[in-house]
């Protein structure tokens, strides 16, 4: 079993209900109960919106292969909300749910479909704050830094 670190965000509709629905589906998928960081509110990252995000960091044990997990999480996103995450030009937009795989143990993957650790995690406070709560000793396998150390560099 691997430890998977996820970040779930919502900035549209009943944010907490969307997140809770996604967590329940993720727990069913992986067959274990997730450890949760406290909810964290943040401004949208990568685009402008007046709607703040509610974010939840999760750590869950899962035996799925990374790409299978990615596809399953994408299906969960579609089940919670079938609306797209990007506009026709490819820009981020407000959304009911967004689930990102932040890291799986110390695994490094760089493929067209999946990059682990998440390629922008070190730039996102809303990822690093929950991660330092969930895994204070975890180190980015490429940067060699903990979440707290990456957070201090923002």
125 in a domain, yes or no? Answer: no
**45: three-class secondary structure by DSSP:** coil
18 in a domain, yes or no? Answer: yes
Q: What CATH number corresponds to the domain at position 35?
A: 3.30.70.560
Helix axis angle for 66-80 and 15-30, nearest 10°, is 140
Per-residue pLDDT of 11-22, as tens digits, reads 999 999 999 999
Per-residue pLDDT of 49-82, as tens digits, reads 899 999 999 999 999 999 999 999 999 999 999 8
93 in a domain, yes or no? Answer: yes
Q: How many domains does the chain have?
A: 1
Residues spanned by the domain of 50: 2-119
Per-residue pLDDT of 25-44, as tens digits, reads 999 999 888 899 999 999 99
pTM of the entire predicted model: 0.94
Label residues 61-77 b or e (16+ Cβ within 10 Å = b). Answer: ebebebeebbebbeebb
108 in a domain, yes or no? Answer: yes
Which helix (H) or strand (E) covers residue 8, if one does? strand 2-10
143 in a domain, yes or no? Answer: no
pLDDT at position 76 is 97
């Amino acid at each position: 079993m691997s430890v998977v670190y996820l970040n779930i965000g919502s900035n549209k509709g009943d944010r907490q209900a969307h997140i809770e629905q996604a967590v329940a589906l993720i727990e069913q998928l992986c067959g274990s109960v997730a450890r949760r960081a406290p909810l964290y509110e943040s401004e949208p990252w990568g685009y402008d919106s007046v709607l703040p995000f509610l974010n939840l960091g999760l750590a869950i044990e899962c035996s799925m292969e990374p790409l299978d997990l990615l596809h399953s999480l994408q299906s969960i996103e579609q089940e919670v909300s079938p609306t797209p995450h990007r506009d026709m030009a490819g820009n981020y937009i407000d959304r009911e749910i967004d689930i990102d795989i932040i890291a799986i143990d110390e695994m490094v993957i760089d493929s067209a479909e999946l990059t682990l650790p998440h390629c922008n995690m070190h730039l996102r406070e809303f990822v690093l704050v929950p991660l330092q709560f969930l895994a204070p000793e975890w180190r980015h396998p490429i940067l060699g830094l903990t979440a707290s150390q990456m957070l201090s560099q923002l």
